[in-house]
Structures are given as structure tokens and as C-alpha cells.
Structure 1
């Protein structure tokens, strides 16, 4: 395997966008791009599930459901009525939603309590394509298992937990850490940070876009929802991960240009997304 790291430069971004973000068929319907299911939003963490799920909708997912705690469900219904929030308390409640989902985004606001512990075995079982983020990565580290159709989205601290090492070990050689994570857990790995890496075991791509203003709560939830939305629209695993990272970073850069870096919110990325997600042959966001 080559040790080379390929940059996600403007030309590669353009190729991915033109290939996978082409105009939709006139007879498309919401079932063509879903259902997408977000599992998270435990007690006190409804915001994370909302950021992931609303991002998925804004990024082109079709029917979008959220399996969450009872308190979170009420808040989601009020804030974003386009989402189908379902309160779940057990694996039995969750299983029918998993059975109907094309893609699952698991972890935003999942928590580490008994509720999450009850749901985790259903999320770990073989099933639809999955984006695993946040507390989902905590439970994976506690119960290691490979999954060929999963996108993992760890930051360096979560990567260190998954590899049973120190954050300094991750930072010392990020491409090697991304490869090791992929070898251990399968699927595609998005190793977040300055110069986010995307690795499928054969390729390691590095994104050069993005800025320090994006070091703020909720950015990972937005990225997870974006990756899930692209998967729900039929983009292959590695391409969905790479394109999500690139779009996410470019949206952050556009916000920084217009509003500045300091004080950026994760939900601010929703503003630039329509232009980024709807390129044409003549005009592609760079």
C-alpha cells in the first residue's frame, strides 16, 4: 500500500460534485433518497440529533426519521416539523425503524447511559449503510466490531479511544492512524481535524479546505448528517465521505468569508449548502 496522501483539491472536489450532485430526475420522490434514520438525542442531547437530522434534510435526504428519547421527540416536532421524530425506549422500538431505513446516522446525542446501552446492540448488528459519530464511537470502542458499510467520523480523542492509545500517538502520524482505524473497524474512516483525512484502506485523501472557526460544538453532527444524506442519495461509501468532508469544509470557509471565523455556529453552514449541493456543468463551487 502506498503511503501517499492525496489532497482533496479543487479539481477533485469538482469531479465528485459533477458526478454525484447532478440534477435529479423529474419524477424523483422522497423515497428515492431515503428513508434516512438518525439515532440519538438522548436525555439532554436533543440538539445534536437535530443538527444531524436537519442537515440531512437540507443536504437532500428524502424521508428523514429520528429515533430519540421522549423529551427530545417533543422538541424536534416543534422545531422542525419536516422531521419524523419517534420516541424509542428499547431495542424492540428501534428495530422496525432500522428495518425500513436505507441509511442510519447513529451517535449524535446518543449518550452513554442505560438508554444508549439498551439500543447499542441493535445499532451494532449488520444492517443498512451507517454513519457512526460521537457517542456511537464510544460504544464501538467498548464493543469493537468490523462493519464493511460504515463511515466512522472520529476526532483525535475518539480515534485514540478506538485504537487504545494516546491522542499524541494519533497526532504524530495521522495517515497511519486513519489506516489503522480502517483496518481495525472496516468501512471508511473520516479522521477529523485540521486537514481532515478520508481513508478506505487503499486511499487516504486529505482536505485542504476548512478553518479554525469550525472548532465549535455541533460541527461533527452537521458532518455526520451531510455524509448520511449523500449515502441516502446513492453516493458510494468512500465518495460520500470525501464529498461530505469537502462540502462541509467549503461551507465553513464561505461562512468565515462573510461573517468571520470567531463566533461561527454549526448551523451557520446551512446557509451556503444549497449553492454547494447544486452545481452545474458550467458553475461548480471551488
Structure 2
């Protein structure tokens, strides 16, 4: 009997990523719930996954004539079998490479076995993967390993991954690049470097942070038509921050508003030779909507600061006596940018802490707390702390490698240690305020330059000054910071981006001009 022609639907926008993020176990529960409680056959979900991947391939590579598909023996491989079937029905030449022994087909189970049988009914041709086999397809599809991987990749799977990465062909990963940890985003020995990854049912949190950002390429998502009620059954505590959050929590201002409605921010920093850091934070606070911004810095930096940004009220502060009236007037204190680590730094930090006012702590303020001023380090509800992995490691008495091994666990540990809201900066910056973790997948490598953290601290301070809680202020500040950098990079590229370049984009992002 002649097979019915395959119709591929390509109108779905898979680039719209959902807000909830799931662990590997949670996605398995989603899958089981859809099958057992909503009566969606597992093979149907597998077929939808294969159709979704093949639809994207057809749309992006319309002249494609051949592809190489590498399949493992699990359900990820089953998705690959569906893709192979669709490709062969459409007349695309398929080189199907299966990783395993001569009894590969006998070890297949469940839906993967069903998909294999359907493929074999159409075209039984396949090869067992071997190191000396050359890839024949114009495109490589990675369907080797799914979300169940826990230990390091070994043996033939590791060999296949290395071969994929050495190939000059474009690579499409099915659900997750093989070798990545779906929960943390770290590489488990080795991992496929894909140009495109299409994730299914529940978006895996590890795909958006840590080493995963170098392996996923463009990340897409398809819910495989699983009802929303399935997702409602599975509680999650990790979410993406989006422009919707910005629109919800930063409403339009009253027409009768005045500067006193939007808070007084005091930036404390700019030690000798580091005046620029504190000024960047002050300018960022102004650009982010704070009503009044003061800068307490060393006398040598006053003139330059006023020339650069006359809107900031700059004060020469050489002692706590000069700082006291500024602390009294301030509603939010941002301390750390350019603070340094000397006697002046110690005085400024102790005075700021003694005020008991809401604060944003960054850079050397965090380093001083982890070193000379451990006695001040008690959990507080009214602050935001913004460590990068190095500062986080010092605060937790660990190593950067340990921090990066599981960034989700690390930010929760930091929040337990510090209280308030904690931002763990880096690729896929995380914000934790206790009950939930928020991930920002905006941003780009151009942001790896001095001064970016100072700008972020200023935005955090401005949002707190405008009445947002530390949690909301941190979440939205991280998003605005990263999104602003992306808008600048769209115009000029990543290399050569300056922290001060963001000032041209921050107001537009906050005011919804880049939707």
C-alpha cells in the first residue's frame, strides 16, 4: 500500500519561548501526565516531535537533499527515527547512523521501538555508527541522548559527539544537545555544539545558562499540542523574565508626577583611580527613572563626574562625617562600584550598613563582606546583592568551578546566606529571592567588559527607588540591562561594546519602544 504524502505545517512560531522552566524529571512527569491522564499516546508525542523538527529543517534548508541522523537507543533516538521516516517520504536522502551493537534494534523499547518499526516498514537501511564512517548528509541531526543523561558521556556516544563537532555541517539537536545536563546546563564530559535546538513539552532550564549557551545555538520550543492543564499539574519554581513582566510591574506614570515620586538614590563608591565605576552606576540610575541621584565619591572625581553627567548631584566625601547627611536623605543606597578595599572603603561600608536603609551591594562591597567585614554579613530582607561567579565563590567559600557546576543551586545557597534578592551574574543570569528563581536569557558576549556590573547596580537602585521590591527590582533590572545590550549590539556588533553604550537603549527598553 502506497504511503500517504506527508504534509508539514510551518506556520507555528517556535521562537516564542515559554516562561516556566523545568528540570529533566519535571519534563518526564509532564510526559507521563500527558500519556496517562490525558490519553495522548506516547508514539503520538514522538511523532509530533519528529514533525516539529523536520518542519523547521524544511523551512530553514528548503533545498536540502540529504541529511545524516545519529540516533541512540532511547526516546531521543525514537524522535530521530520519525525524522528519518519523514525525510525519506519527502525524497531526502537519509544516512541513518545508530549508536550501539549488532543487537541495537532488539534493545529498543516503548515508543522508540514503535517508531523504529514504522521506519523499517518504509526503508530498513541503516548503519551502526563507527569512527571510520564519514557523514554523507548536508545536515547533521543529533538524536543521540536526551534528558536522562546523568554521568559523563563515554564510548561510542562520546566518539559520535566529537565527530559531529568536528564536522563542518550545520547541526540540529533534538530536544537537547547530546551531552548537556538538562538541569544545570553543564557539559557532561562532551556535548554536541548545535546550530539549532528544538526543545519539547517543557523548556529545560539548563538550556539557558552555564555552558549550554555555547552548545544550543538558536533555541526553539514546541509544546507538541500538550494541553495547558498538563503543565498546571506540575509546580515549578524557575521562570524566565520577559518583557511582559516589565510591562506589568513598571506601569505608566501619573501625568501629575514629580521627581520626588521616583525616589532618591545614593551611589557610594569611586575610590582613588576608580571614579568611573561609581559614575556609571549613577548614570544608569538616572537613565532608569530614579527621581534624584547623588554620588558620594572621592574629591578628585567630582569635577569629571559633573562634566560627564550634570544631572547627578556629586559630593566630595572623604570621611563618614561628610557621608552622614547624604545617607540621611537617601532612600536607596548603592554601594560597591569602584569602592576599593582600603580604609576609606571600610568607613563607607560600615556607615552604609549602620543606616539600615535598603541597599544594592556590588563589586568590592561584596568582597569586603567576604573578607574583612564578615561580621556585617547577616541576612537582610531589604537589599540586592549582585555577585559574579568569582565574588559568589568568595562569599560561599567555594571555587568558581563549583559555583558554575550548578548555577541554580549556587544562587539558592547565596540567597540563604545573604537574604534579600541575589543576582548571580553570567550567561543566563539568575535572580533568587527565596521561593523562586528567575532566569534572564537576554544578553550577549559583548557584555564581558568592565563597567557592566556597575550599570546593573544603578538600574537595581533606580527600580527600588521607584517602589519595587528587591525581588522585582532585581528581576527587571537584569532583564533591562541585558536587553539594552542586545539592542545596541544589533546596530554595532558585540566586539567593542562599552558599558556606557547601554545608556542609549535603557530608556527605550523600559518604556517598551523595542517590542
**Pairing partner for 2:274 from 32, 45, 56:** 45
Asked if 1:179 corresponds to 2:408, the answer is: no
Distance 1:74 1:116 in 2: 21
Q: RMSD of the TM alignment (CA)? A: 1.6
**Pairing partner for 2:387 from 128, 149, 154:** 154
Residues 245-265 of structure 1 show CA distances to partners (whole Å, capped at 9, x for unaligned) of 111111111111110001111
Distance 1:169 1:131 in 2: 25
Q: CA deviation at 1:36?
A: 0.6
Q: CA deviation at 1:228?
A: 0.8
SS at match of 1:64: strand
Q: CA deviation at 1:242?
A: 0.5
Aligned to 1:191: 424
Asked if 1:117 corresponds to 2:349, the answer is: no
Aligned to 1:83: 312
Distance 1:264 1:5 in 2: 34
Residues 49-99 of structure 1 show CA distances to partners (whole Å, capped at 9, x for unaligned) of 111000100110111100111111222122211111111122222122111
Aligned to 1:247: 480
Aligned to 1:70: 299
Residues 148-172 of structure 1 show CA distances to partners (whole Å, capped at 9, x for unaligned) of 1110000000000111111111011
- Which structure ranks higher in relative contact order (CA pairs < 8 Å, sequence separation ≥ 6)? 1
For structure 2, the 5+ residue unaligned runs are 1-21, 24-235
Contact 1:22 1:278 in 2 (8 A): no
Report the structure, 1 or 2, having the larger helix content: 1
When the two structures are superposed, what TM-score results if normalisation uses the length of structure 2?
Answer: 0.52
Contact 2:268 2:348 in 1 (8 A): no
Distance 2:297 2:485 in 1: 28
Q: CA deviation at 1:285?
A: 4.0
Distance 1:277 1:155 in 2: 24
- Decide which structure has the larger Cα Rg and report it: 2
Contact 2:415 2:434 in 1 (8 A): yes
SS at match of 2:242: helix
**Pairing partner for 1:6 from 238, 241, 244:** 238
Q: CA deviation at 1:5?
A: 5.6
**Pairing partner for 1:135 from 364, 368, 371:** 364
SS at match of 1:125: helix
Aligned length: 278
Q: CA deviation at 1:126?
A: 5.0
Distance 1:170 1:5 in 2: 20
Residues 185-224 of structure 1 show CA distances to partners (whole Å, capped at 9, x for unaligned) of 1100000000000001111111111111110110001111
Asked if 1:226 corresponds to 2:455, the answer is: no
Contact 1:52 1:226 in 2 (8 A): yes
Distance 1:254 1:49 in 2: 24
Inter-CA distance 268–274: structure 2 relative to 1 (3 Å threshold): same
Asked if 1:170 corresponds to 2:399, the answer is: no
Contact 2:335 2:349 in 1 (8 A): no
SS at match of 2:398: coil
Contact 1:126 1:147 in 2 (8 A): no
Residues 119-138 of structure 1 show CA distances to partners (whole Å, capped at 9, x for unaligned) of 22112235221110111111
